[in-house]
Amino acid sequence: MRSAGTVAELVQRQWGDHRPGLRHRDTVLTHHQVASGAAARAALLADLLSAGGEPHLGVLLDNTPEFPLWLSAAALAGAAVAGINPTRRGAELARDIRHTDCQVLVTERAQLPLLDGLDLPGVRLLVTDTDAYAALLAPYAGAGPGDAVRPGIGPATRMLLYFTSGSTGAPKAAICTQGRLAAAGRSLVDHFGVRREDVHYICMPMFHGNAVIADWAPALAGGAAVALRRRFSASGFLDDVRAYGATYFTYVGRAVQYLLATPERPDDREHPLRLGFGTEAGAVDAARFRERFGVRLVEGYGSSEGGAAIQRTGDTPARAIGRASAGDDLAVVDPETGEERPAAVFDAAGRLTNGAEAIGELVNRGRTPFEGYWRNTAAEAERVRGGWYWTGDLFFRDADGFLYFAGRTDDRLRVDSENLAAAMIENILARWAEAAAVAVYAVPDPVAGDQVMAALAMRAGAVFDPAALTAFLAAQTDLGTKMAPAFVRIVPAMPVTATNKVHRVGLRREGFWCGDPVWRRDPDGGYAPLGGERLAALLGEYEERGTQLPDGPGIRARPASEDGTAYPH
């Protein structure tokens, strides 16, 4: 069979396939019904879109069948889908919709309160779970998969406008064409051996690129079914996997840690799941996941914008991500000069000994698949400089060419004149069995540079024991002398973004001036509660030297008390 060059062609191939293709709760649609439903929506969309405007629609939905149906419809109609983040609010939410020039916004009744009072001129609202929507769609029920295909659809036709977040500024809408999305799906089919009988479980939010590019697209390209979870649930994960017969899933951020934090059960290995693919689980938790659930996790790396990718091979060292994907010319360079960094050097314990010299920003010096940002030339110019694609991520490379993730460029810490990467410290702290989730970030040092702060979410039933943490740190042979956290914040749950990534911006902004228990490391390596006189003395150091403390508007809370418990707000 000829390889499809567009997503529209992949959708058309579903016609006449009466195997189950989409599952959600009690709903089961065949591949044919998915293609038929997409054709009807594409025909409706063709009538709704103004010829004088951009062929863009926004989708403000949880993971319900309407989301993949509208993705498929947009592909047939030659339109682009902007995934709208339901955690955004007010003017920011309206900005996302207007910025992407959405003529139509597909939503559901549960999301309508988010739209109250928003100024969205010229945007047609479709509310999927209403009688009015059903009546609007009914006349198009007989459409075939080729009836609404816009002339001229090709690999370069825009397909997705998905928002990528940064530490500053408004989210940027990255462009993904039909050709790139279809190619990504085919690549993962080949890489993971996707079979027609597979079921891809989509529990990550579909407004984000991970769920669409790494989960939905390979299912579509390989003829596999998809099963949807409205929103990620750690407690409901295995029940869903069993009910749907799921064999593959994707994850980002802290999803794996949440799954490991659920109570162990005797039947944890009784399921059809064979593979998980994602980022940021870390080698320690990936090993724990395989030991407990019998499922291999494949850690990958790909910049959200598609500008660089790393593939893991069988000979990849445990802590490495892998080597550059075919066609990419990846290098680790000094972000200031562009000069390539030297290879990493490890001691007998596996500790990186030349981090200050070896860690740099990952760039792609070859031809990049990055397709730009929608109406944001300044951001494009920052991303592509001197003909190179700059990922904004820190890496180091060993002598054999394997690449190791070291954090984001804004996750770098400078402690006592030494550059440290937050991700490396997190990987060490993640070994502590008592911690369910870990985040490391910088807080200002009273004199100069940074101090290391860690937020820890404890496992169910565990109580933070500072002596146990001190003993654990002392036993880690690869913990550098400046890596031990100066401050430890105990959080009831790790604050995360809508895509389950740690909300480091908020953590950095609050620093140790928060409502959770905070412990400070003593010169002897032990930890004592930061409160009362200790906190006053520390604040006096900052005041004496005129050092600015992080203090975002509206987040200043009372500090911990002398015994480490939080004062009431």
User: Do residues 12 and 113 share a domain?
Assistant: yes
Residue 16 buriedness (CB in 10 A; 0-12 / 13-18 / 19+): exposed
> Distance between CA atoms of 108 and 62, rounded to whole angstroms?
9
Of the candidates 357, 388, 410, which is a domain's last residue? 410
Strand stretches in 140-259, DSSP E: 158-164, 172-177, 199-202, 225-228, 248-251
> Distance between CA atoms of 173 and 159, rounded to whole angstroms?
12
User: Do residues 309 and 173 share a domain?
Assistant: no
Classify residue 538: in a domain, yes or no. Answer: yes
* Amino acid 555: pLDDT: 27
Q: Which of 229, 286, 289, 227 is nearest to 264 (CA)?
A: 289
CA dist 97 → 92, 123, 321 (Å): 9, 9, 35
User: Do residues 162 and 38 share a domain?
Assistant: yes
Which CATH number is 369's domain given? 2.30.38.10
User: Do residues 320 and 354 share a domain?
Assistant: yes
> Distance between CA atoms of 388 and 370, rounded to whole angstroms?
11
Classify residue 349: in a domain, yes or no. Answer: yes
User: Do residues 357 and 443 share a domain?
Assistant: no
Where do we find the tokens 């949880």?
A: 62
> Distance between CA atoms of 563 and 128, rounded to whole angstroms?
52
User: Do residues 373 and 477 share a domain?
Assistant: no
User: Do residues 19 and 163 share a domain?
Assistant: yes
User: Do residues 310 and 428 share a domain?
Assistant: no
Which CATH number is 459's domain given? 3.30.300.30
CA dist 449 → 121, 444, 513, 522 (Å): 47, 6, 18, 19
User: Do residues 57 and 128 share a domain?
Assistant: yes
Classify residue 512: in a domain, yes or no. Answer: yes
Classify residue 246: in a domain, yes or no. Answer: no
Which CATH number is 143's domain given? 3.40.50.12780
Classify residue 19: in a domain, yes or no. Answer: yes
CA dist 99 → 102, 123, 126, 131, 210 (Å): 8, 12, 19, 30, 22
Which conformational region is residue 95 in: left (phi greater than 0), alpha (psi within -120 to 50 degrees), or beta? Answer: alpha
All residues at 6 or more sequence positions from 102 whose CB lies less than 8 Å from its CB, including other chains: 56, 57, 58, 82, 123
Strand stretches in 369-449, DSSP E: 384-385, 388-397, 403-408, 412-415, 418-421, 435-444
Domain containing residue 156: 7-180
Task: Say if residues 251 and 281 touch (Cβ distance below 8 Å).
Answer: yes
* Amino acid 363: pLDDT: 96
Classify residue 485: in a domain, yes or no. Answer: yes
> Distance between CA atoms of 64 and 554, rounded to whole angstroms?
35
* Amino acid 562: pLDDT: 35
Is the CA virtual torsion 377, 382, 383, 387 positive or negative? positive
Q: Please tell me what DSSP assigns to residue 409.
A: G
Per-residue pLDDT of the chain (569 residues; tens, 9 = 90+): 456 799 999 999 999 999 999 999 999 999 999 999 999 999 999 999 999 999 999 999 999 999 999 999 999 999 999 999 988 888 889 999 999 999 999 999 999 999 999 999 999 999 999 999 999 999 999 998 878 777 789 999 999 999 986 544 578 999 999 999 999 999 999 999 999 999 999 999 999 889 999 999 999 999 999 999 999 999 999 999 999 999 999 998 678 888 998 999 999 999 999 999 998 777 788 889 999 999 999 988 887 788 998 988 889 988 888 998 877 899 999 988 999 999 999 988 777 888 879 989 999 999 888 999 999 999 999 999 999 999 988 899 999 999 988 776 767 787 875 667 788 899 899 999 999 999 999 888 876 678 999 999 999 999 999 999 999 999 987 787 788 999 999 999 999 888 788 888 788 878 887 889 999 999 889 999 998 888 888 888 877 756 656 543 222 333 333 333 332 22
Per-residue pLDDT tens over the stretch 505-514:
788 878 887 8
CA dist 469 → 192, 257, 528 (Å): 39, 19, 12
Classify residue 353: in a domain, yes or no. Answer: yes
Length of the chain: 569
Of the candidates 410, 435, 467, which is a domain's last residue? 410
All residues at 6 or more sequence positions from 46 whose CB lies less than 8 Å from its CB, including other chains: 77, 148, 150
User: Do residues 75 and 157 share a domain?
Assistant: yes
**Total tally of structural domains belonging to the chain:** 3
User: Do residues 72 and 159 share a domain?
Assistant: yes
Classify residue 28: in a domain, yes or no. Answer: yes
* Amino acid 557: pLDDT: 32
Question: CA 39, 43, 48, 50: dihedral to nearest 10 degrees?
Answer: 110
